[in-house]
Every structure is written in C-alpha cells, then in structure tokens.
Amino acid sequence: MQRFEIVGGNRLKGTIEIDGAKNSALPIMAATILLEGETVLKNVPDLADVRQMQALLARLGVKTHRDENGAMHIRVEDEMNTHAEYELVSKMRASVCVMGPLLAKRRKAQVSMPGGCAIGSRPIDMHVAGLQAFGADFELVNGDVLLRAKKLRGSEIFLGGPFGSSVTATANVMMAGVLAGGRTVIAAAACEPEIVDLADFLNACGARITGQGTPQITIDGVETLKGTEHRVVPDRIEAGTYMIAAAITNGDLELQGARLEHMQAFVDRLRRIGVIVERYEKGVTVSSARRLEAIEVTTQPYPGFPTDLQAQLTALLCLADGNSIVTEKIFPDRFLHIGELARMGAHVRKEGPTVIIEGVKRLVGAQVMASDLRASAALVLAGLVAKGTTCVHRAYHIDRGYQRIEEKLAGVGASIRRLQE
C-alpha cells in the first residue's frame, strides 16, 4: 500500500490542467455496449476506476485500448456474456452502469448488487424500477439483479427519490431508452453535466435524446447506434478540489480546462467566504490572500452544491473565521473525514446529517487514514496547510478519482511525495 507524505505551509502558485470527468467517462464507457463499430474517447482520465471499468467491459466482450496519444478505442467483440459479477461490481459502484446497456442490447442483464460503501447505504431500487418500466422481468438471484426482456417498450419513468434524483439511474434508463421501441420520458431526471455529456455522446452515435440537463428527458428509440469519436467533459470535482487547494494555501492557481458554468453553486460559496474566482480564456483562476469567512452549505443535486465537494470544503472551513454549518442532503453519512480532520486539530462536531465546524487558526500534521475518494482528497488539502508533516495512508482511494494528484500539486509548489507503506 502507498501513502502520501505532505509537508504543509507552501503557497501554491501556477497552472494545473484539469482532466476529463471520471463520472462522465465511466457511464460513457458502459454505453459502448450499445454500439456497433469502434468508438474513440478522448480525455478519459487514467484512473483506477477507469481501469476497473475496462476490466468489467473486457469480461463482457468489449475490447478497450489506449493509443499512443492516450485516446481510448472501444469495440464490442462478443455479446454472449451478460453477467457483471460480484468480484468486479463490489470494487466499484459505477459498474451498475452496465445494467441498462446490457438489458437494451443483449436483452438480459445480471448485475451483482453493489451493497453499501464507505459513504453509506447506496440502494439501486431506482435503477431497477426504472428498467422494469420498459417491460423487463426482474428477479433477485444469489445477490444479483437479473433483468430480462424480449423487447423494451418506451415508457414514462419517474426517477425522484428521497434524496432527489439519481445520477446513474438516469444514465441507466437513458441508455436503455435509446434502443427501446417508441418514446421514453424521464421525469425528475438528474441534471448533472455528466448526464448531458452521456446524452450528447449517445446522440452523436445516432440516438434521439432531448431535454438533457433539465429534469425532463425525452428519448425516441432507434434501431441501431454506431460508434463515434467523443471528448469527455472536464472534471468539475477535480477542478473544485484544486480550487480549494488554492484557497486553503492562500495561493494563486490557474485551472486550465475548468468550466465555471458547471460549478456555479460551489463558486458562489467560495466567493462568499472570500476566495477570488475568475474566468479566463483557458479556464478558471482562483486566489486568496486572507483568512476566510465561515458559511452555511447544504449539498443538493445539480445545480446545487455537489456532495462530491463537501469533504474538501469542510477541510477549508476548518480554518475559516467563525462557525460553519455543513449539511449533507445526498449521502447523510458521508462524514468519515471529520474524525481524521480532528486528529489534525480541527474542531468539528456531527449532529445527524450536519457538521458544525468551529474555525481554528491552524491545523497540525498527523497520521491520517483515507476512507473514500473525496474524504481522502480533503485530508490531502488539509495536509497542504497543516504545520509539519501529514501522512495520508491508503493512497489508493485517491487514485480512484485523481490522476497524478501528487505530480499536479508538486508542480505548483506543494511538498508532497508518494511513498510505499
């Protein structure tokens, strides 16, 4: 196992290039199950989760390889297998994204239930109900969801749940709808930029989807879809994480490729606490030269404040002037980082789905344990400013979603090294 060792205190200054979005690349890769011919995906980040999806696709007869420029070439070679097994799905929840494409193209999808994870219980009832609405039969077999249909019929499908819509359930239903007979209308669809990217990709393959980016998506089924070339949108969560790196170190960063229009709720909060965020021709600049204000934040589905930046913002607020309140409305248990931040001197108290953060003057380096992807990013951010040395153990969590994080941060002045445990 590997760890990151960070010596805090350096102001970050320079340019970081933002990679393609993990949460766009994964469903788009799964969508290639639907296609005839070759697809070329550009800007697919080289991440552990992407390699995991490649392994799952290989098992399902879909060949992927990177060319010398890093573009990913994908082609379906064998349509026999329809089973995404526990061994692969349990390692990465986004594996559930093969369910819609398998059912639509191969008429059968057997996908292991992903179960819980470090950020809480994560059911898939909306995925299953959404796909059943096309007329598929559903059974639970040895912990696997088994869906079968001779033909899918377009339908009206509601995807609102107790915590808003579901991103990957919207992706699954959209991917099934593109090859279903007739019209499918998704009500309470997720509006995330990654859903828009998936819809744009499918449309470039010949699908007829409208309304992506709004809560009502309409899909008119087609007979076949052909592979295409597509560039994955920049990762707004990676960009947001580096924006906080600039803010927490009182630094000054240019984030090349970052799209401000995908981060409005987040940018609004940053500006309110005193961070300077501007658009420039290649992306976004972020700087801060003073102590920041405390604030209240509630995570919400897009375009609200993203849950995937909650842990990182919490790390920043540990150093704000006064008391901040952060409420998690998507994954109420996604607070594993606060115990570790407390080891670094943060004053954070949890009450239900809310944490109350009493800003302190400084954090101090400590041995801390990464627990999930975004919580780990929050610990790295805290380490950048903490006095002394911070060791973030279990670096593999970070590698699931951040490509070369230590190189990118070191390139703008951070003292960070990857070490073998």
Catalytic residues: 117
Stretch that binds ligand EPU, among 82-90, 122-130, 290-298, 385-393 (CB under 6 A): 122-130
Which one of 10, 52, 168, 403 is in contact with ligand EPU (CB under 6 A)? 168
Instruction: Decide the pairing of beta strands 296-298 and 2-7.
Output: unpaired
- CB atoms under 10 Å from CB of 51, counted, come to 14
Nearer Cβ to ligand EPU (366/374): 374
Question: Does 167 sit near ligand EPU (CB under 6 A)?
Answer: yes
Smallest distance from ligand EPU to CB 62, Å: 18
| Binding status of residue 330 toward ligand EPU by CB under 6 A | yes
- Residue 307: CB minimum distance to ligand EPU, A: 5
Residue 126 interacting with ligand EPU (CB under 6 A) = yes
- Residues from 274 through 313 that contact ligand EPU (CB under 6 A): 307-308
The residues pairing with 256 across neighbouring beta strands, listed in sequence order, are: 17, 283
Considering only residues 66 through 85, tell me which ones interact with ligand EPU, judged by CB under 6 A: none
Rounded-to-10 torsion of CA 181, 107, 161, 167: -90
CB within 8 A of 150, min separation 6: which ones? Answer: 107
Residues 391-410 that bind ligand EPU (CB under 6 A): 401
Decide: is 180 part of the binding site for ligand EPU (CB under 6 A): no
Number of residues that bind ligand EPU (CB under 6 A): 24
Q: Which is nearer to ligand EPU, 110 or 166 (CB)?
A: 166
Number of Cβ within 10 Å of residue 150's Cβ equals: 8
Q: Which of 66, 122, 148, 208 binds ligand EPU (CB under 6 A)?
A: 122
Site stretch for ligand EPU (CB under 6 A), options 2-10, 149-157, 167-175, 226-234: 167-175
Backbone angles phi, psi at 84, to 5 degrees: -95, 105
Among 3, 105, 106, 127, binds ligand EPU (CB under 6 A): 127
Contact 416, 6 (CB under 8 A): yes
Going from the C-alpha of 67 to that of each of 71, 74, 141, 243, 402, the distances in angstroms are: 6, 11, 39, 31, 21
Q: Which of 163, 220, 321, 339 is close enough to bind ligand EPU by CB under 6 A?
A: 163
- CB 53, CB 94: distance < 8 Å: yes
- Burial of residue 301 (CB within 10 Å: 0-12, 13-18, 19+) is buried
169 near ligand EPU, rule: CB under 6 A: yes
Q: Give the residue from 196, 327, 336, 169 showing the smallest Cα distance to 261.
A: 196
Residue 26, interface with ligand EPU (CB under 6 A)? yes
Which residue's CB is nearer to ligand EPU, number 284 or number 377?
Answer: 377
Binder to ligand EPU among 124, 319, 346, 378 (CB under 6 A)? Answer: 124
Residue 213 lies near ligand EPU (rule: CB under 6 A): no
The edge-to-edge listing of strands for the beta sheet with 296-298 is 296-298, 323-327, 354-358, 347-351
Interface with ligand EPU, residue 161, by CB under 6 A = yes
Shortest distance (Å) from residue 137 CB to ligand EPU: 18
- Among 236, 259, 374, 397, indicate the residue that binds ligand EPU (CB under 6 A): 374
Q: Among 25, 50, 60, 94, which residue interacts with ligand EPU (rule: CB under 6 A)?
A: 94
Contact 395, 1 (CB under 8 A): yes
Region binding ligand EPU by CB under 6 A among candidate stretches 12-20, 50-58, 123-131, 251-259: 123-131
- 300 closest CA partner among 187, 165, 158, 189: 165
Site for ligand EPU in 225-254 (CB under 6 A): none
Cα–Cα dist 77/396, whole Å: 31
CA dist., res. 81 & res. 262, Å (int)? 37
On the CB side of 390, CA atoms within 13 Å amount to 33
**Interacting span for ligand EPU (CB under 6 A) from 62-70, 163-171, 287-295, 355-363:** 163-171
Rounded least distance, CB 14 to ligand EPU, Å: 25
Considering only 9, 123, 206, 304, the residue that binds ligand EPU (CB under 6 A) is 123
DSSP 248-299: HTT-EEEEET--GGG-HHHHHHHHHHT-EEEEETTEEEEE--SPPBP-EEEB
Q: What radius of gyration, in Å, describes the C-alpha atoms of the chain?
A: 21
Which CB, 138 or 280, lies closer to ligand EPU? 138
CB 189 within 8 A of CB 117: no
Pairing status of strand 183-187 against strand 156-158 = parallel
**What residue ranges bind ligand EPU (CB under 6 A)?**
23, 26, 93-94, 122-127, 161-163, 166-169, 307-308, 330-331, 373-374, 401
